Every structure is written in C-alpha cells, then in structure tokens.
Amino acid sequence: MSVGIDEISFYTSNYFLDLKTLAEVQGTDPEKYYTGIGQEKMGMAAPDEDIVTMAASAALPLIERAGPDAVSTLMFATETGIDQSKAAGIYVHRLLGLNANCRVVELKQACYSATAALQMACALVARKPDTKVLVIASDIARYDLDTPGEATQGCGAVAMLVSANPRLVSIDPEVGNYTEDVMDFWRPNYRSTALVDGKYSTKIYLKALKKAWDNFSTVSGYGFGDFSRFCYHLPFSRMAQKAHQQLVRHTKAGLSADEQEAQISDTLLYNRIIGNSYTASMYIGLTSLLENTIEDLSGQRIGFFSYGSGCVGEFFSGTVVAGYREALHLQRHRDLLAARREISHDEYLQLYRHPVPTDGGEHRFEEGTTGHFRLAGISHHKREYIPR
Ligand code: HMG
C-alpha cells in the first residue's frame, strides 16, 4: 500500500502588487526583482481575509468532492497564527462543516511545519488506511516597509488530502533532516512583521540543504540521478535556482545549466506571481509542477527540500502516480490567478497598514476578498468568520 497526496488545491488573494510598481517608487531597477530574485508579483491579502479564510477557501474544493465526513484529522500549519492558544483549524473545521469527530491541531516551525504535518498525516494513514487526513498550510508573509525583505512578501494557502493509494504523489518513508539553532528569520510574539538577516538566511538555507541531502541519501540509498524533478521551499524563485545549482555541484551530477533549469522551472511559475506563502510555498510549487509540465510525469520520482528558518531542513521524496492529471484542479487555479486585480502602490500601503483592532470593541471589515469565506469583523476580541 502506498500513502501520500491524493488531491491538492490552493488559494491566494485576489489582489497583487506588480514588483515593477514597487521598484518605481523605490527608484530601483525592476530587473533586480524580476531577474535578481526571480519574482514578478506579490499577493496582498484583503482587509477581510486572513490565514483562516484563505485556508478554508483552499480546502473547500477537496471537501466538496470527498464529503465533510471523509476527514478524520485536520492539521493546520502556519507561522502567522492569529491566536496564541486556539488552533486556526477549528474555525476552518466549522466553515467546512467537518464531522465533530475530526481532530484538529496547529503546527509551527516557520516554513517547514507543513512538511511535518504531511509526514505525520502519512503516518496516521499508514496506521489506519481507511482514514483521510486534511493538511492545510496558510500564511501571509510580511516584512517591514523599505527593507530588503519587502519585495519577497506574498500570501496563500494550500490544502492536501492525504490518503492510502493516493491519486497524485505517493510519499516515500525515508527522510533526511537537519536542525540547528540559528537566528536567520524570526517573529517574536509582539511583532506582526518578521525580522530577518536576509543574506545569512540564504546561506543557512543552502547549508541545511546540503546537510539534509547527505542524511537523506545515506538513509534512503537514493542518488541525485533517481530524481527527474525537484521542489524546493520558495521564499523567492531565484532561491530554488541557487539551491539546485548547489545540489548539482554537491552531488557532482554534472548537468548543464539548461538541464538543471528543466528540473525545477515548472515548480516556480505560480510562486513568481504569488510571492512567498511560507508554509504553503513548496506545495504551491508542487501544484505548479503537476499542472504545468507538458511531459507526463507518471512514475517519476520527485525530490523535495523543505526549509523553515530557525532552522529545520528536510529532504524527502515521492513518486507521481499514473493518471494524476485526472485529480488536479488546474482550471480553478488558472481562473483564480487570472481574475486577480493589480493594485496601485497607494492601495498596497492601505492594505499593508490595515489595522487589526486590539481594543475589544466592535469592528466590521469592508468587503474585499473574492474567496468563499470572509472575516466579517472582530468583536469582544473574537473573530467572526462567515461564508461570502
Ligand atoms: P537584497 O539585499 O535586496 O538583494 O536582498 P541583493 O542586493 O542581494 O540582490 C538580490 C539579487 O539581485 C542579487 O543576485 C543581485 O546581483 C541581483 P545574486 O547575487 O543573489 O545572484 N540584482 C540584479 N539582477 C538583475 N538586474 C539588476 C539587479 N540588481 C541586483 N538591476 C534578500 C535579497 C533575499 C536577502 C532579501 O530579499 C531578503 O531579506 N528576503 C527575505 C529573507 C529570505 O527570503 N530568505 C531566504 C532564505 S530563508 C527562507 O527561505 C525562510 C523563509 O521563507 C521564512 C521561514 O522559513 O519562515 C524566509
């Protein structure tokens, strides 16, 4: 019996800022963003959307197909949590009408926690193959204005149904891990934006890749040549290109630049126009690969490198299942991305500065999201989520 990702669906906000607009205001060459970091656009959340509404919108198509009673556990991975105590997934559980016997939990370790959730979901399904686990990763990436991180913001959520005999990707049990206590990127509880040592974070990412790969290749016995494509954590698309170049060098794979690019280019397409979605970003990259690769990937093995600052890196692998195209949500994702509206720099600043009230009063939020759910307001410190 194989275990893995049976279905995958993502959501991102209907607003985006083109990075050439940001570059113009900053007096920077737009090519620094388009080419230097490999990003064109970044998603900006509407005033009435957050990690909960994005997560529920991402998961709704899966639940519509599988039914609300199909899921025994909901794992919610995020690093932009809205509550120190209550799991964001409990709101999603209600919005999706899931069974009261479904357990819900939230997981955190920067951008890595969705991978921890996926691995734990696979273990739960292996123990009880007639169950399905819903893994959701949802984040809003925010840095201070006028910092190098600003151009690498974004937002998005991805939902994956994990089952026995999956229709998309079966996940191999072997993993390679690397953990080290470093301060490359972090967000203390009293801050709404992340702190980051940008250049250092890219170095640590590459170090964790090498170490996780070494561990993975030892425990699994796989070599670089066993993989046809690679999905990397995507803080910005150029990071994956640098990572892949390094892995090629490290494993002495001896590929040309074009051959290297062909192994990752289809994973980058959605991230380039959504931006960093932290926990969700590698899995939006996987969706991009499955939905945009012309060649039939059936039977091909994919390498995954998941990275979360702080830091944990994990290298693992999976095999694409024959007939996977039947289970994709390709047209819905294309429609979602095509229907987005470009915003001006002034609108971007308004969305960026939209206050989250903390006074316990009665606050209503203006309608902005085109997703299936909205955050109607906050009253007496309680968030009110409704279908739109
Ligand atoms: P920066 O200082 O603005 O950029 O910060 P730069 O000056 O280094 O330029 C970036 C690249 O653009 C360089 O290329 C330049 O040469 C090039 P490189 O040397 O890297 O190959 N460039 C140009 N190219 C073409 N035309 C031009 C031009 N000008 C310059 N005119 C930095 C970049 C990534 C540091 C910044 O954006 C940042 O701090 N981002 C946030 C941190 C981050 O994303 N780190 C990634 C690793 S950590 C991670 O992935 C975890 C994370 O997702 C969080 C989590 O786990 O929770 C962040």
Q: Which residues contact 199 (CB under 8 A, 6 or more apart)?
A: none
Distance from the alpha carbon of residue 268 to the mean position of ligand 1, in angstroms: 16
Q: Would you call 111 a catalytic residue per the annotation?
A: yes
- 385 CB neighbour count, 10 Å cutoff: 18
> What is the percent of the chain where pLDDT is above 70?
100
For residue 3, what is the DSSP state? E
What CATH number does residue 233 fall under? 3.40.47.10
Q: Which of 193, 309, 312, 314 to mutate to test the pocket of ligand 1 (most atoms within 8 A of CB)?
A: 309
Domain count, the chain: 1
Average pLDDT for 1-6? 98
State yes or no: pLDDT of 285 exceeds 90: yes
Tell me if 164 CB under 6 Å of ligand 1: no
**What's the pLDDT tens digit per position in 243-283?**
999 999 999 999 999 999 999 999 999 999 999 999 999 99
Annotated catalytic residue, options 79, 106, 291, 314: 79
Q: How far apart are CA 258 and CA 276, in angstroms?
A: 25
**β 229-232/301-308 pair status:** parallel
What pLDDT sits at residue 40? 98
* Å from CA of 221 to ligand 1 middle: 34
276 within ligand 1 shell (Cβ under 6 A): yes
The answer to whether the CB of 298 is under 6 A from ligand 1 is: no
Q: Which atom, in ligand 1's list, is nearest to the CA of 110?
A: 57
Q: How far apart are CA 210 and CA 20, in angstroms?
A: 34
**Exactly one of 233, 244, 329, 333 is catalytic; which is it?**
233
pLDDT tops 90 at residue 179: yes
- Closest residue by Cα to atom 32, ligand 1, is 198
In this model, does residue 182 exceed pLDDT 90?
yes
Whole-angstrom distance between the N-terminal and C-terminal Cα of the chain?
40
pLDDT 10s digits, 165-174 = 999 999 999 9
Q: Is 289 in contact with 229 (CB distance < 8 Å)?
A: yes
- The answer to whether 362 is a known catalytic residue is no
The string of pLDDT tens digits covering residues 318-350 is 999 999 999 999 999 999 999 999 999 999 999
Digit-coded pLDDT (tens) for 67-98: 999 999 999 999 999 999 999 999 999 999 99
355 has a pLDDT exceeding 90: no
Question: Is 98 within 8 Å of 71 (Cβ atoms)?
Answer: yes
CB 224 within 8 A of CB 297: no
Beta carbons within 10 angstroms of residue 131's beta carbon: 17
What residues have CB less than 8 Å from 354, skipping those under 6 apart?
47
The closest of 102, 93, 89, 114 to 171, measured between CA atoms, is 114
Q: 29 in ligand 1 pocket by Cβ < 6 Å?
A: yes
Peptide bond into 311 cis (omega under 30): yes
What share of the chain in percent tops pLDDT 90? Answer: 99
In the DSSP assignment, the letter for residue 251 is: T
Q: Which two tokens stand for residue 377?
A: 């307001």
Tokens linked to 214 = 């070494």
Measured from the CB, is residue 313 less than 6 Å from ligand 1? no
Q: For ligand 1, atom 37, name the residue with the nearest CA.
A: 149
DSSP secondary structure string for all residues of 293-304: -SS--TT-EEEE
Alpha helices by DSSP H, 128-268: 198-220, 237-250, 257-262
Tell me which residue range forms the domain holding 268: 3-387
Contact 196 CB / ligand 1 (< 6 Å): yes
Helix (H) or strand (E) holding 93: helix 88-95
Average pLDDT of the chain to the nearest whole number: 97
